[in-house]
Amino acid sequence: MISSKKYTEMTEGELERELAALRQEYERCATLGLKLDMSRGKPGADQLTLTQDMLGVISTPQDCITENGLDCRNYGLLDGIPEAKRIFSDLLGIPMQNIIVGGNSSLNMMYDSVARAMLYGVYGSVKPWGKYDKIKFLCPAPGYDRHFAICQSLGIEMITVPMTSDGPDMDMVERLAASDETVKGIWCVPKYSNPDGIIYSDETVRRFARLKTAAKDFRIFWDNAYCVHDIYGEGVSLLNLFNEAAAAGNPDIIMEFASTSKISFPGSGVAVMCASDNNLRQIKSIMTIQTIGFDKLNQMRHVKYFGSADGIRSHMKLHADILRPKFDAVLAAFREKLAPLGIAEWIEPKGGYFISLNLLDGTAKRTYELCSKLGVTLTTAGATFPYGIDPRDRNLRIAPSYPTPQELTEAVEILCLCSKIACAEKLIG
């Protein structure tokens, strides 16, 4: 019999009996030949089909002409078509002239922005970032593994900043940014943070807006990936850092990114970056060497299909309806199977794509391995931290979107089982 008593209050004998029962159950599951994936924030097939009709929404030559008379089928217009800028302007609350509508990937725009800074510097740099012996980025963690991978790839040293329920530990951010000229940036997912699902508090955003940095060319990489990705209704709204920073006399500090990857099609969406006039002037002067322009037909496809920012907002309710039962299933299983045992903590996110599970210290990797052997793939343990090393080895990122509800139920069952085994083993020591 598997128990629901607090593991931390069990005797060693009780724990050993519990572990034996869990292992029996594990052996049974090993015979099921499962193949389930909760590793990446991929939309499910039913979500992809929501925007299927977008594919046919432009067809005639006239459909391809922008409001300022430009032919989307031809070369030109480096920074995107005006009607797409307007929609993102409404959506993000950022002036049209501060927006570049790009290609299919905000990750690509972020990587290019950091690579560009390495090669050329940013507006206000005294030299390219790559000309320093070493530069550093602040990395709130747990965070997005692909942000950390950009730093690692480009040889940028990462300094872990703990996350709180209000966002990154701002005392630490302020101290580090103010004290070291080689600290050049910070990665932020300010709304429904990856993986915790935290929305940065107004105070956190205001402190970012007023941030005093030793480097004259420090940048906040504000990855607003989940700006309209509410699952349980429109909850707490995120304060607009672009406006706040400008009001604080600090307009150049932010580079904001977003995309429709999880609104229309991942891989065939439209990405944007937003920055001050000074920043965009410098960025465009280099971007115009890199490309003649992005895919304007795909931008127009999005414009014709959604029509407006409100069109996107109401479309997101359809995604929420599909995602909500999946998040519910994971959270219900955690509440039922893990909560009583005192071995796990998590935040119940109101949107985004992830649930972040913290187990007992020193059990995340073991849980990941146990799941793997049963055919349940999670995001690699440690991936949510710089260099892939979770100092407490406790965090697992759960991505509930891709599996079907049935698969998800099975996968979470396995996850809970493996978490319990790993924690029981740890407590026995």
Among residues 17, 93, 111, 413, the one that binds a copy of itself under rule CB under 8 A: 111
Sheet of 167-168, strands arranged across: 99-101, 271-275, 254-259, 219-223, 183-188, 136-141, 157-164, 167-168
**Is the Cβ–Cβ distance between 403 and 38 less than 8 Å?**
yes
Q: Could you tell me whether strands 344-346 and 355-359 are parallel, antiparallel, or unpaired per DSSP bridges?
A: antiparallel
Three-class secondary structure of residue 103 per DSSP: coil
322 binds a copy of itself (CB under 8 A): no
290 binds a copy of itself (CB under 8 A): yes
Q: Which of 11, 31, 52, 68 binds a copy of itself (CB under 8 A)?
A: 52
Max CA pair span of the chain:
78
- Among 339, 341, 343, CA closest to 331: 339
Among 45, 68, 165, 249, contact with a copy of itself (rule: CB under 8 A): 45
Q: Which CB atom, from 4 or from 49, has the smaller least distance to a copy of itself? A: 49
32 belongs to the binding site for a copy of itself (CB under 8 A) = no
Contact with a copy of itself (CB under 8 A): which of 185, 251, 293, 403? Answer: 293
Stretch that binds a copy of itself, among 59-67, 240-248, 316-324, 411-419 (CB under 8 A): 59-67
> Which of 15, 138, 150, 239 touches a copy of itself (CB under 8 A)?
150
Interaction mask 71-110, a copy of itself, x per CB under 8 A: xxxxxx--------------------------xxx-xx--
CB atoms inside a 10 Å sphere around CB 365: 16
Residue 120 or residue 232: which is nearer to a copy of itself going by CB?
120
Say which DSSP state 378 is in: E
**How far apart are the C-alpha atoms of 117 and 276, rounded to whole Å?**
16
Q: Is 59 in the site for a copy of itself (CB under 8 A)?
A: yes
291 binds a copy of itself (CB under 8 A): yes
Q: Cβ of residue 115: shortest distance to a copy of itself, in angstroms?
A: 6
Q: In the set 4, 8, 97, 153, which binds a copy of itself (CB under 8 A)? A: 153
Stretches 15-23, 84-92, 111-119, 327-335: which one binds a copy of itself (CB under 8 A)? 111-119
Pairing of strands 271-275, 99-101: antiparallel
Return d(Cα 384, Cα 362) in angstroms, integer: 15
132 contacts: CB under 8 Å, gap ≥ 6 = 182
Residue 152 CB, nearest approach to a copy of itself (Å) = 8
Per the omega criterion (within 30 degrees of 0), is the bond before 142 cis?
yes
- The site map against a copy of itself for 129-148 (x = CB under 8 A) is -x---------------x--
Residue 349 preceded by cis peptide, ω within 30: no
- Establish if 386 lies at the interface with a copy of itself (CB under 8 A): no
160 binds a copy of itself (CB under 8 A): no
# residues near a copy of itself by CB under 8 A = 53
C-alpha 238: how far from chain center? 15
Q: Which of 247, 286, 332, 428 binds a copy of itself (CB under 8 A)?
A: 286
